[in-house]
Amino acid sequence: MRVLVKTLMLEGLKVIEVDVEIAVVRSAIPVHNIVGLASKEVKESFERIRAAFESAGLKLPAGKITVNLSPADIVKRDTGFDLAIAVGLMIALGSVRREIIKDGFVVGEIGLDGEVKAPRGLVLFAKYALLQGKTLICRPIGLLELFKGLNIQPVYSINSLMDKTKVIEMPGSILEVSEKNNFNIDYVLLNEEEKLLVKLLAAWDVNALFIGPPGRGKSFIANLIAWLKAPLTYEKYLEVIGIYEYAGERRVSREVPVRSPHFTLSYSAMFGGGDGMQPGEVSLAHNGVLIMDEFPEFPRRIVEGLRQPLVEGKVLVSRASKKVEFPAKFQLLATMNPCPCGEFGYGFCSCSFREVRGYLNRVSRAVLDRIPVVYNVEGRGRKVVKVSDFKNEVEELAKIEVPASMEILKRKLNLKDLQFLYELFEKRGISLRKAVQYFRVIYMLRVLRTEDELIKSLFLEHFDYVDRLRLMMRKKGGKRIALLE
């Protein structure tokens, strides 16, 4: 007898369909075999199933049982195949109707007592099943209620499989719990430029670096921007809770995720991996904001490692000999001092040239190329601003789509702005990658009805400020100091 059960597995955070084919052949000697690149824990599932069956008063089918997992070229790990194999065996035994697996994916682990458990990544499976219009046969968890229209066939134990169960349609209710950001403020001190940038960066996902001496509010501005961001769309929200559930963290808030890793964290904590294939900070910040305070203090490897997610919106993590993909599309908001003492270019700097150069060079040009907004936080001319009023404005602005293509942007910008940018590119030798971002930023500034003077001052006095500090150092040193790269 042959039974085919469909199940799901994860490679990184990517959902893959797996066929579990079970063949039972008459044989005097009972033999069990799992083929199709099954890992040790998958091979052991027979032992868990045997014990679970016993507790439910069942016995494994007599004869030779072969379980084939396909596609055959992917290593099957984890214990999430238990339920699919058990259901297949129960169909072979005639104790479960075959209809139960029609148009459905069976996912779950089984305890020795016969209890069915939700597998890691169940929320990601739910999203996949919903998109495919298939039923999910699993032990339900509360988060699945968020998936409007998803069909669930609940299974709690081996025994409950034998009862007649109904398919339930999920209501898509938004859980009203909101983990309140502990950053709730009404009034802050900001100057005109800061006000403008706060709105721009809160409305659109543009990467930014705030540079300046300690105590001028760099980190505060970064957190303020994150706080002002519009809530996640339903689609992005489901993605985020899927990642968090996989990481073993419960998250129900519609606010964008904000991560602020400390510079002492490890490479795998930042980018993901390790024994448990945990998503790193860059993936936990997916669809949200990654705040990196004291940017040059992060190990060089970590700063350079940001290049891939900043361009591609994903990160590749090594697993055994293979690379798996984790989503990592975030807005980077970094802060830094201009030198180790924090005063270079502002006040009395007690560092040597060597120290200043080393410090500034820790943020390479390749990384700066992906950060269009560099703002020199001096904190001059600040006035009291009611920022809680920004929330609605930001939410409206966020709905305005900013073109990503250079061609479209060129058509949309006025001649004066184009002329201004081209002159700037020529003067500073700006890369094409950065040029596109500048086109987008100037477009956003126009959406915000920014005056010409302010636009000029931002582009000429602020953006590329790290390069200007390097230049300043070169002049002060009275000799040429080789720039990095």
Among 96, 290, 333, 349, binds Zn ion (CB under 5 A): 349
Q: Which residues contact 3 (CB under 8 A, 6 or more apart)?
A: 21, 22, 88, 89, 91, 92, 98
> Tokens for 237?
């929200």
Give the separation between CA 436 and CA 430, rounded to whole angstroms: 10
Q: How far is the CB of 357 from Zn ion (least distance, A)?
A: 11
Q: Find the binder of Zn ion among 16, 351, 398, 472 (CB under 5 A).
A: 351
Nearer to Zn ion, 351 or 481 (CB): 351
Query: Which segment (36-44, 248-256, 336-344, 413-421) binds Zn ion by CB under 5 A?
Result: 336-344
Binder to Zn ion among 20, 339, 444, 469 (CB under 5 A)?
A: 339
**Helix (H/G/I), strand (E/B), else coil: 131:** helix
Least gap, CB of 339 to Zn ion (angstroms): 3
Q: Which stretch binds Zn ion (CB under 5 A): 102-110, 133-141, 272-280, 349-357?
A: 349-357
Contact with Zn ion (CB under 5 A): which of 46, 81, 344, 420?
Answer: 344
Which window, 100-108, 257-265, 337-345, 455-463, contacts Zn ion (CB under 5 A)? 337-345
Please identify, using beta-carbon distances, which residue of 218 and 434 lies nearer to Zn ion. Answer: 218
- Specify whether the CB–CB gap between 12 and 325 falls below 8 A: yes
Q: What share of the chain is helix, strand, coil (3-state, %, to 5)?
A: 40, 20, 40
Contacts 24+ apart (CB under 8 A), 29-34: 29/64, 30/60, 30/62, 30/63, 30/64, 30/65, 31/64, 31/65, 32/60, 32/64, 32/65, 32/67, 33/64, 33/65, 33/66, 33/67, 34/66, 34/67, 34/68, 34/69, 34/85
Nearer to Zn ion, 154 or 358 (CB): 358
C-beta of residue 39 within 8 angstroms of C-beta of residue 18: no
CB of 210 to Zn ion, least distance (A): 17
Residues 6+ away with beta carbon under 8 Å from 100: 87, 91, 137, 153, 161
Residue with tokens 């390097």: 470
Shortest Å, Cβ 398 to Zn ion: 38
Indicate the residue among 344 and 465 with the shorter CB distance to Zn ion. Answer: 344
Measured from the CB of residue 322, what is the shortest distance to Zn ion in angstroms? 45
From 59-67, 280-288, 309-317, 332-340, give the range in contact with Zn ion by CB under 5 A: 332-340
Q: Single out the segment in contact with Zn ion by CB under 5 A; choices: 61-69, 111-119, 199-207, 347-355.
A: 347-355
Q: Stretches 53-61, 62-70, 207-215, 344-352: which one binds Zn ion (CB under 5 A)?
A: 344-352
- Between 244 and 295, whose beta carbon lies closer to Zn ion? 295
User: How many residues touch Zn ion (CB under 5 A)?
Assistant: 5
Looking at 37, 341, 366, 418, which residue binds Zn ion (CB under 5 A)? 341
Pairing state between β 135-138 and 151-154: parallel
Q: Which of residues 17-46 bind Zn ion (CB under 5 A)?
A: none
Smallest gap from Cβ 226 to Zn ion, in A, equals 28
Cβ-Cβ contacts under 8 Å for 240 (sequence gap 6 or more): 232, 251, 257, 286, 287, 288
DSSP 386-414: EGGGHHHHHHHHHTSPPP--HHHHHHHS-
User: Cβ closer to Zn ion: 115 or 467?
Assistant: 467
Does 481 bind Zn ion (CB under 5 A)? Our answer is: no
> What is the contact surface with Zn ion in residues (CB under 5 A)?
339, 341, 344, 349, 351
